Structure 1
């Protein structure tokens, strides 16, 4: 043991002790909310009406480089969601006859939504249980955004990179 090492003594002050984990760091992921993700990524949403064709929906999905569209009525109320998976299923059922179909005939009408105050863990559990990757966010009965599994994963990765940088700076000084 080096001569400069002094083992901790009972009289040492508690405030000098450090902990690699704390309740705050362990619970941080549990308390991240949908609002934080939306504030970071933005509240932009893309929608289509139920009477438009799948051809138009596919064009929007391609042009916007997204995986799902909100389906809203003429007043802007959410009536469904149309995902790439919905379209692929229809393609398998009706090859060569899919694109002229109406969005309203193919969309998922029982839409699972969340609120901005919900935690990311709650949302991920719901998405995993329902086997879907896109979830509309509702606030006060109105659409507030769309959250995806990719958004959640990306947000967490950025956060982990930041934590790693902080640890590196702590070690290096």
Structure 2
């Protein structure tokens, strides 16, 4: 006599989850080093005694939104962003470009390290309302990450996750 079909019971499948059901796709451990690996470690700098005109030309030519300000030994002494220049333009219209970078730059620079988590750095930049963060390792400037770098990295991860999900579904 043939046996009739019985649908599986919950207890029949306990402990039999497949790997695809338990895969964690998001890399919560992405670091600043990962961001730098994706974008490069070029750092564009300027001296405090240079003029804002010099800085504006450098920003335009390099197509960046901020410059690291370094002393003669290469040590970080500040950061100059487009926002710093715009604020100064509003305060002293027509007299801004001849002023020195050192008089306008942000002197208390927030920094991060290569082992800092990318998500933590993104939160710091968002909460602090700044878009550029120099990366320091062993007291040496090794790069700069931007909020755009962090977002680009995350979007790339999301695209990869979507592709993995599609492959899991399609087989």
- Report which of the two structures shows the higher radius of gyration computed on alpha carbons: 2
Secondary structure at 1:112's aligned position in 2?
A: coil
Residue aligning to 1:167: 165
Secondary structure at 1:128's aligned position in 2?
A: helix
User: Which ranges of structure 2 fall in alignment gaps of 5 or more residues?
Assistant: none
Answer whether contact 2:20 2:168 (CA < 8 A) is retained. Answer: no
CA positional deviation for 1:6: 4.0
* Residue of 62, 66, 77 corresponding to 1:68: 66
Number of equivalenced pairs: 168
* Residue of 41, 44, 68 corresponding to 2:42: 44
CA distance in 1, matches of 2:170, 2:60: 46
Residue aligning to 1:138: 136
1:53 paired to 2:47? no
Q: In angstroms, what is the RMSD of aligned CA positions?
A: 2.1
Mapping of residues 77-88 of structure 1, within 5 Å? 77-88=75-86
1:120 paired to 2:118? yes
CA distance in 2, matches of 1:65, 1:71: 17
* Structure 1 length-normalised TM: 0.89
The 3 A distance-change label for structure 1 pair 35 and 83 is same
User: Which ranges of structure 1 fall in alignment gaps of 5 or more residues?
Assistant: none
Residue aligning to 2:33: 35
Secondary structure at 1:154's aligned position in 2?
A: helix
